[in-house]
Structure 1
Amino acid sequence: MSMSSVPLSTGTQPKGKLRYTVVIWLLIGGMINYIDRSILSIAAPEMMNDLNFTATDIGLLGTAFSWAYALGQLPSGWLIDQFGPKKIFGIGIMIWSFATFAAGIVSVLWLFILLRILLGIGEAPCFPSAAKITSKWYPKKERGFISGIWDSSSKWGPALAPPILVLIMATFGWRELFYFAGIVGIIFGGIFLKFYNDPEKSKKLTKEEYDYIKQDNEDSNAVETSTISWFSLFKYRSVWGMILGFFCTIWIWNIFLVFLPLYLLDRFAVSFAALGLLASIPWIGGAFGNIISGYVSKKMAESGRFTPMKAKQIIISISAVISAVTVIMIPFINSIGLTVTLMTVALFFISSITGNAWALATDVAPSFMVASVGSIQNFGVYFGGAFSPVVAGMIVDLTGSYTLAFISGGLIAGCAAICYLFIVKHPIQTQNVQ
């Protein structure tokens, strides 16, 4: 569809709301993404029984995924820019869905490791594609709200996974979990490749809505003629503060993602039926933490007492301290109700950190380098944070307890406050980047 972009006035609402249907693609894709990576935590108890896997083995599978996911971040961003989000995201869905399905067939650890690596490679383009699609389909003033919706998929996915997957496993078996999720992903990937289009190629998008979407696009020539070097971003203190702060956060996030259901089973011997509900509650808290903290930072900035950057730093730092305290308390609680409550509180504030950390990239980076800074942060975080599941698994195997894993994870999470409040200092000044 060829359209001339004639900016509309700020208050003008376009004829047509097709853009609001696009976020549904991103939300569903993100949820499938997180459900597929969450299957391991649900299937782990039965896999350990049937295949004689240890907690260290389960942690190693989590680490293999995280390293592959991290390494896949940087080339994914380049491929998306070169070939478009439709093709790269669609292919990624097919790759990760095949890896998920195939995991139901194999029985040898090294094959599981290879499939987890393939899962990480396939899932890597998901959120960079969502960011790219958001920039194509929404004007700037709507992007924060839209990003909050699709980013919440990283919480809704793990929240919905336990009750659905536990039911499937209780009815059929752990291998059927991988078959089911793989087939769902392949179907969604086919539908996405068939029906999604960028605004320029959409046959249903009205000219008025197209002009509204494109009304405040940046001048692409400014990006093309910029002398900014991607590698030069690593010399900035604030970039390293973001990497280190997010690393501290993702360390405990990965422990929850891999071991939360297993901990409830081992610690309280809950039934599989109860596990489905109990393991989902903390992630629902995470989803609300993401949304509420974003709203609070917005109100703080609008008050005029804080810059947008400082508002996010304050919320991140307070959230890091609270999450550290609650995580450290978890292994000392003997009540399953209070344990789930503490996990919910912890994930509420951990999600407050992750949501504001992604938004912080827009404050630290020049507008045309936001994706680069965000991908560097995510690459560094997942590469380093990949150690946490295997370290936690080794601690459990050596000590017979999760206590040290939670204490160390809580202390590391608390360090995010130091990184974001004292290391992240100033935005990158364009004229100083050579």
Structure 2
Amino acid sequence: MSAAPVPATGRVGGYRWRICALLLAATTINYIDRQVLGVLAPFLQDEIGWNEIEYGYIVTAFQAAYAIGLLCTGAIIDKLGTRLGYAIAISIWSLAAMGHSLAATVGGFMLARFMLGLGEAGNFPAALKTVAEWFPRRERALATGIFNSGSNIGAIVAPLLVPVIAVTWGWQAAFLFTGVLSATWLVTWLVLYRTPEEQPKLSAAELAHIRSDPAEPSVKVPWLQILRHRQAWTFVAAKFLTDPIWWFFLFWLPKFLHAEYGLSLLGLGLPLVIIFLAADVGSIGGGWLAGRLIKRGWSVNRARKGAMLVCGLCVVPIIFAARADNMWVAVALIGLATAGHQGWSANVLTLPSDMFPRQAVASVVGLGGFAGAVGGMLIATFTGFLLETTGSYVPVFLMASSAYLFALAVVHLLSPKLAPAQLETPRAQA
């Protein structure tokens, strides 16, 4: 039985934050699992014998599955429910992560990466749905921000943890260990998770607090209707043009640092940690800057694009990293760029809610995520061919340095005022 939607008073309890902690752990593991290959890539290349083009294909396999998963998993999770849907997603990616340890050929790694991408695509749709089930609207932004920070935590933990495991027990152990982390989370999830109405440890006061919002209309907006609006293409274009740069950072930075500066497996840890710590700072700073500008009286349109401009300018100097004689200069420039990307993303991810009604936001986000994953496929294949034929990272860094300002120009062209989209409302039944 559902609690009445009345405001809770007094102390309501904090069981919902335990659920948020589970989401944080899942997102952290999600990013650790996807980063293992990137950290080990320079050394697996010698071990397995793949070339740059084949590594590009391996990364593309992950991106392709991730794109497919983003289109499909939301509907599957809606149908099966959060508990079972999330469990299936993490079961797939846990088995796929451990399956990497059995791969001995390019084809084997491509299969393992494809299955990993398919499973990992379910993390964010499931986590966002869980937040909607367990938190009133006024707390959802905070809960989402907490669990989403796991993406940066995972990007920091992987280069610290994976090299030590690989050097001590072999590269296969790194994949097995992260797969075991996923499996451990799965058991914990199945034991602890129930919907709020079914959770016996939840107090009546906290349940009333969770259900204190007015009932939300559940109206599905077809994709074809959404895509008729320039506002949707604004978000799709922003993701397509800039998400691939982040995927490049995740999967190619270890190879770049190894190739250009001769870093050992253990030596990669500190530079990568610094780079992704900078990304964490940028993620917070980009959101803070836009909010600060709005508080100073700027319009949402001007503040959002102003913050995006600052973040885009932070990425421009990365072009000099490709030829930096000193590794720490390159690390500083790349760290500035990752901070710029995450600050940019913090603002781009608000565009759907800036321009679309609530019932359409999830669909717009899914379309943009698909576009970003497709862009990631293209840059993975392109980078593989580029490095195999020229051995130079300069063209990729050049693309990265210009992508954000170009994307901002496209955003402004498509939505000069970030005006809300006027969607058709369903006609009342006669």
**Fold agreement, TM-score > 0.5:** yes
Pick the aligned partner of 1:274 from 267, 275, 282: 267
Say if 1:431 and 1:232 are closer, same or farther in 2 by CA, change over 3 A.
closer
How many positions carry a matched residue from both structures?
A: 425
CA contact (8 A) 2:4 2:211 kept: yes
Q: How does 1:256-405 map to 2 (within 5 A)?
A: 256-307=249-300, 309-323=301-315, 325-405=316-396
Q: How does 1:43-192 map to 2 (within 5 A)?
A: 43-192=40-189
For 1:16-35, what per-residue CA distance to the aligned partner results, in whole angstroms no more than 9, with x for missing partners?
Answer: 11112221111110111111
Hey, what's the Cα distance between the residues in 2 that align with 1:79 and 1:47? 35
Hey, what's the Cα distance between the residues in 2 that align with 1:414 and 1:63? 25
CA contact (8 A) 1:30 1:153 kept: yes
Question: Which amino acid is the alignment partner of residue 194 of structure 1?
Answer: V
For 1:37-63, what per-residue CA distance to the aligned partner results, in whole angstroms no more than 9, with x for missing partners?
Answer: 111111112211111111222221111
Hey, what's the Cα distance between the residues in 2 that align with 1:386 and 1:54? 17
Hey, what's the Cα distance between the residues in 2 that align with 1:296 and 1:5? 38
Partner of 2:34: 37
Aligned-pair distance for 1:285? 1.1
Aligned-pair distance for 1:432? 7.2
Hey, what's the Cα distance between the residues in 1 that align with 2:267 and 2:44? 19
Aligned-pair distance for 1:108? 1.6
Hey, what's the Cα distance between the residues in 2 that align with 1:87 and 1:206? 24
CA contact (8 A) 1:236 1:428 kept: yes
Hey, what's the Cα distance between the residues in 1 that align with 2:426 and 2:230? 13
CA contact (8 A) 1:3 1:207 kept: no
Aligned-pair distance for 1:4? 2.3
Partner of 1:248: 241
Residue aligned with 2:227, SS: helix
Partner of 1:5: 4
Aligned-pair distance for 1:217? 4.1
Hey, what's the Cα distance between the residues in 1 that align with 2:317 and 2:425? 41
For 1:150-208, what per-residue CA distance to the aligned partner results, in whole angstroms no more than 9, with x for missing partners?
Answer: 11222221111001001111112212111111111111112112211221211111111
Question: Which amino acid is the alignment partner of residue 342 of structure 1?
Answer: L
Aligned-pair distance for 1:13? 4.9
CA contact (8 A) 1:100 1:119 kept: yes
Say if 1:218 and 1:362 are closer, same or farther in 2 by CA, change over 3 A.
farther
CA contact (8 A) 1:254 1:385 kept: yes
For 1:214-265, what per-residue CA distance to the aligned partner results, in whole angstroms no more than 9, with x for missing partners?
Answer: 2124433xx34x7x43321111111111111111211211111111111111
CA contact (8 A) 1:252 1:413 kept: no
Aligned-pair distance for 1:433? 8.7
TM norm structure 2 = 0.94
For 1:89-142, what per-residue CA distance to the aligned partner results, in whole angstroms no more than 9, with x for missing partners?
Answer: 111111011011011112121121111111111111100111111111111121
For 1:61-97, what per-residue CA distance to the aligned partner results, in whole angstroms no more than 9, with x for missing partners?
Answer: 1111011101111211111212212211111111011
Hey, what's the Cα distance between the residues in 2 that align with 1:37 and 1:232? 34
Question: Which amino acid is the alignment partner of residue 205 of structure 1?
Answer: L
CA contact (8 A) 1:316 1:420 kept: no
CA RMSD of aligned residues (A): 1.8
Residue aligned with 1:279, SS: helix
Identity of aligned residues (%): 28
Hey, what's the Cα distance between the residues in 2 that align with 1:163 and 1:397? 28
Hey, what's the Cα distance between the residues in 2 that align with 1:203 and 1:422? 52
Question: Which amino acid is the alignment partner of residue 297 of structure 1?
Answer: A
CA contact (8 A) 1:251 1:413 kept: no
Q: Where does the alignment leave 5 or more consecutive residues of structure 1 unmatched?
A: none
Say if 1:375 and 1:310 are closer, same or farther in 2 by CA, change over 3 A.
farther
Residue aligned with 2:3, SS: coil
For 1:274-313, what per-residue CA distance to the aligned partner results, in whole angstroms no more than 9, with x for missing partners?
Answer: 2111112111111221122222322333333222x54333
Which stretch has the larger CA shift, 380-389 or 368-377?
380-389
Hey, what's the Cα distance between the residues in 1 that align with 2:295 and 2:138? 14
Hey, what's the Cα distance between the residues in 1 that align with 2:313 and 2:384? 24
Q: Where does the alignment leave 5 or more consecutive residues of structure 2 unmatched?
A: none
Say if 1:421 and 1:153 are closer, same or farther in 2 by CA, change over 3 A.
farther
Partner of 2:200: 203
Hey, what's the Cα distance between the residues in 1 that align with 2:120 and 2:164? 25
Residue aligned with 1:215, SS: coil
Partner of 1:416: 407
Question: Which amino acid is the alignment partner of residue 49 of structure 2?
Answer: N
Question: Which amino acid is the alignment partner of residue 363 of structure 2?
Answer: S
CA contact (8 A) 1:317 1:420 kept: no
CA contact (8 A) 1:242 1:419 kept: no
Hey, what's the Cα distance between the residues in 1 that align with 2:229 and 2:320? 36
Hey, what's the Cα distance between the residues in 1 that align with 2:394 and 2:39? 21
Partner of 2:421: 428
CA contact (8 A) 2:42 2:254 kept: no
1:213 to 2:204 alignment: no
Hey, what's the Cα distance between the residues in 2 that align with 1:166 and 1:126? 25
TM norm structure 1 = 0.93
